A and B are shown apart, each in its own frame.
Chain A
């Protein structure tokens, strides 16, 4: 079984566990580092970003204390598998990968943005993170615009495509509408719906469309230096063939161009390990857990996964000719 297949199984299982676990009274806590959306009624755990915004806007000492506790649990979870939460568990990631699969089956190519545009867009995730961190503080101490502030509870969640997409695909359309409570809520929900639409169409055209802008992913990447799971590269063995860059759904170019450091777990890396699977050089790319190699690239593996280590091309492509003598 290839690592991609294992990842698909894990993604699917975790999608169903996170989305329907609540029906079986499963509770995984309020500190999950993944989009287990609060607005999904049957969820089995809650996205930490919602909890973070919810507790920040209280303004009580008690709330901050429990936030600290949750942050600790959250950090422990992140340190163990890092951004593998994004590539292997995230329900929104699953949704995007399903759309990706549909596109692939239709043999439509994907879009990739020019490097320059990608660099310019990389600030979006920071903007989202600041929205999630700073507006709740304003809500808790509303020294101006109190009525606006009170309508801005969980501001990022109102913008997050997960809030609209995840309940929608699970058949719950109550929250998937413009919230007419006030001007602020109208603006926020309209923006959120627009983002959701863009993400759905984007995911049909581009691999993992949403992930480069996800503030949760950014948050998880802060732990990459101390995380147990790492992506490593043997820079001397690398032939710079560029396959890793082409197969990377996040289009991380640094992985290809890195020539000095062994650690290549970059900010955007969701640890899907596709690069390791497709690297044709022995032990050039490998994933390590706690310093121990858990998966490594190999020339033989590369060729055997393409089913070309034995046999020859089908007859119809062969040229019938007299034998050489």
Chain B
């Protein structure tokens, strides 16, 4: 449904169709041909991941392919409803639902899944999933900056590395994650991050050249694609957007209200909030969700190419800059939001809380407080994947955008 809506927009940049097709193949046509090919012909393993704290570099270095499985489907969340407590967030419900009934091959094809213990729901998710598939838990320390947690985290990654090697290794020969492979996989994903950052920079322009729902979809598609293929498509899209910018072909004027989406992730096909916001005449210029900008923003930096140094670099990348509210204290997120509000010249923040996502809801008060000082309005929206509340949300979002519009008009006159 969402894809059809996107398709109907005649102004779409040509580069975006690649990402729409990825989503269509994964969720509508239920085609994972590419992955199947890799599994069958090249004997590659497919490893599912949950949360952004799972280092994909290790998976690529072992010759396996990662797929990010965090679920966003309403139907799957209905299946999951029966299996997990009622107050659990829909991400976990949908993930359990997808895994238990395997309605789409994306979940079926995984040889193992890695679940990191970020929030409470994800922690228990791993346990539930182990009924259906092989699960490796990855313990994430919740206080980031102590020496102990740093060491513990690096230790966890070495254990994970061993697990991956065991899965991908062949009998007698065994396949270690070698130095060169690790170096290459860091390069591969850093390239993807470089392209993601280019898109991030392009979206800073005063009059946007791409709508938020499309840009977010493109980033989201990374979950279901192979990194280098995605990088290539993204680089084409970026080239196209840069050309559009120089030609002056904007999707809306520079007076359009600029919205930042904060809070719980919007995972395709749960695209109702981004669509609503942009239907109501605002534009999403950026987001800070773990399925959006946070996913591919921070690169890995290493000065030397020894396995040890690269592991330290990977460990730092996946723990330190992650501002998921499951970490505490989480001042860093407030700084990040302030910086984004400044960089993108934000007019308002839509704070998305998935029902049951307590940690994001907790931080709302702090976010509201700092944004009040900056005179940026914040609208909290609590919802799940259920499409029933769309009209009600539409009214609220419309009113919010109208407030911003009248404020902007006043400023323009003055």
Q: Footprint of B on A, CB under 8 Å?
A: 104, 107-110, 114-116, 235-243, 245-247, 256-257, 259, 274, 278, 280, 299, 302-303, 306, 308-309, 312-314, 317-319, 321-322, 324-325
Contact at A312–B228, with CB atoms within 8 Å?
Answer: yes
User: Nearest CB to that of A119 among chain B residues?
Assistant: B147
Contact at A242–B320, with CB atoms within 8 Å?
Answer: yes
Contact at B228–A280, with CB atoms within 8 Å?
Answer: no
Measured CA separation A110–B309 after assembly (Å): 7
User: Nearest CB to that of A318 among chain B residues?
Assistant: B228
- 1/0 per position for B183-207, CB-CB distance to A under 8 A? 0100110110010010000000000
User: Nearest CB to that of B188 among chain A residues?
Assistant: A313
Q: How far apart are B164's CB and chain A's nearest CB, in angstroms?
A: 17
The 10 closest A-B pairs by CB, nearest first: A109-B308, A242-B316, A243-B301, A242-B320, A115-B147, A241-B321, A109-B306, A239-B321, A278-B301, A107-B306
Q: Which of the residues A104, A257, A312 comes within 8 Å of B304, measured between beta carbons?
A: A104
Does B377 sit within 8 A of A, measured CB to CB? Answer: no
Contact at B335–A259, with CB atoms within 8 Å?
Answer: yes
Given contacts A312-B228, A317-B188, contact A245 B335 (CB under 8 A): no
A-B contact pairs, 23 of them (CB 8 A): A109-B306, A109-B309, A115-B147, A239-B298, A240-B144, A240-B321, A241-B299, A241-B321, A242-B316, A242-B319, A243-B301, A245-B316, A257-B145, A280-B298, A280-B299, A280-B301, A302-B299, A308-B187, A319-B42, A321-B34, A322-B37, A324-B18, A324-B34
Contact at A241–B320, with CB atoms within 8 Å?
Answer: yes
Contact at B34–A247, with CB atoms within 8 Å?
Answer: no
Q: Footprint of A on B, CB under 8 Å?
A: 18, 21-22, 25, 33-34, 37-38, 42, 65, 144-145, 147, 151, 179, 184, 187-188, 190-191, 194, 197, 226, 228-229, 231-232, 297-309, 312-313, 316-317, 319-321, 331-332, 335-336, 338-339, 342
Chain B residue contacts of A302, Cβ below 8 A: 299, 301
User: Nearest CB to that of A284 among chain B residues?
Assistant: B339
Given contacts A246-B302, A302-B301, A324-B21, contact A116 B179 (CB under 8 A): no
Contact at A236–B298, with CB atoms within 8 Å?
Answer: no
- Of the listed residues A104, A313, A314, A318, the one surrounded by the most CB atoms of chain B closer than 10 A to its CB is A313
Contact at A321–B304, with CB atoms within 8 Å?
Answer: no
Tally of A-B Cβ pairs under 8 angstroms:
125
User: Nearest CB to that of B227 among chain A residues?
Assistant: A313
User: Nearest CB to that of B18 among chain A residues?
Assistant: A324
User: Nearest CB to that of B184 among chain A residues?
Assistant: A317
Contact at A313–B191, with CB atoms within 8 Å?
Answer: yes
Chain B residue contacts of A303, Cβ below 8 A: 190, 194, 197, 299
Q: Which of the residues A237, A239, A257, A278 comes within 8 Å of B303, measured between beta carbons?
A: A278
Q: How far apart are A257's CB and chain B's nearest CB, in angstroms?
A: 6
Chain B residue contacts of A107, Cβ below 8 A: 179, 304-307
Q: Which of the residues A115, A243, A259, A299 comes within 8 Å of B313, measured between beta carbons?
A: A243
The B interface is mostly helix, strand or loop, or mixed, namely: helix
Contact at A240–B332, with CB atoms within 8 Å?
Answer: yes
Contact at B21–A116, with CB atoms within 8 Å?
Answer: no
Known contacts A280-B301, A322-B37; 15 additional CB pairs below 8 A are A107-B306, A109-B309, A114-B151, A239-B332, A239-B336, A240-B144, A246-B302, A247-B302, A278-B301, A308-B194, A309-B194, A312-B228, A313-B191, A321-B37, A324-B25
Contact at B147–A240, with CB atoms within 8 Å?
Answer: no
User: Nearest CB to that of A106 among chain B residues?
Assistant: B306
Chain A residue contacts of B301, Cβ below 8 A: 241, 243, 246-247, 278, 280, 302
Contact at A104–B313, with CB atoms within 8 Å?
Answer: no
Q: How far apart are A107's CB and chain B's nearest CB, in angstroms?
A: 5
Q: Which of the residues A241, A257, A321, A325 comes within 8 Å of B38, measured between beta carbons?
A: A321
Measured CA separation A261–B95 after assembly (Å): 44
Chain B residue contacts of A246, Cβ below 8 A: 301-303, 309, 312-313, 316
Chain A residue contacts of B34, Cβ below 8 A: 319, 321-322, 324
User: Nearest CB to that of B235 among chain A residues?
Assistant: A312
Measured CA separation A321–B342 after assembly (Å): 42
Q: How far apart are A323's CB and chain B's nearest CB, in angstroms?
A: 9
Q: How far apart are A293's CB and chain B's nearest CB, in angstroms?
A: 19
User: Nearest CB to that of B297 among chain A residues?
Assistant: A239
Contact at B303–A236, with CB atoms within 8 Å?
Answer: no
Q: Which of the residues B38, B190, B335 comes within 8 Å of A306, measured between beta carbons?
A: B190
Chain B residue contacts of A241, Cβ below 8 A: 298-299, 301, 316-317, 320-321
User: Nearest CB to that of A321 among chain B residues?
Assistant: B34
Chain B residue contacts of A110, Cβ below 8 A: 304, 306, 308-309
Chain B residue contacts of A242, Cβ below 8 A: 316-317, 319-321
Measured CA separation A95–B21 after assembly (Å): 57
Chain B residue contacts of A109, Cβ below 8 A: 306-309
User: Nearest CB to that of B33 among chain A residues?
Assistant: A322
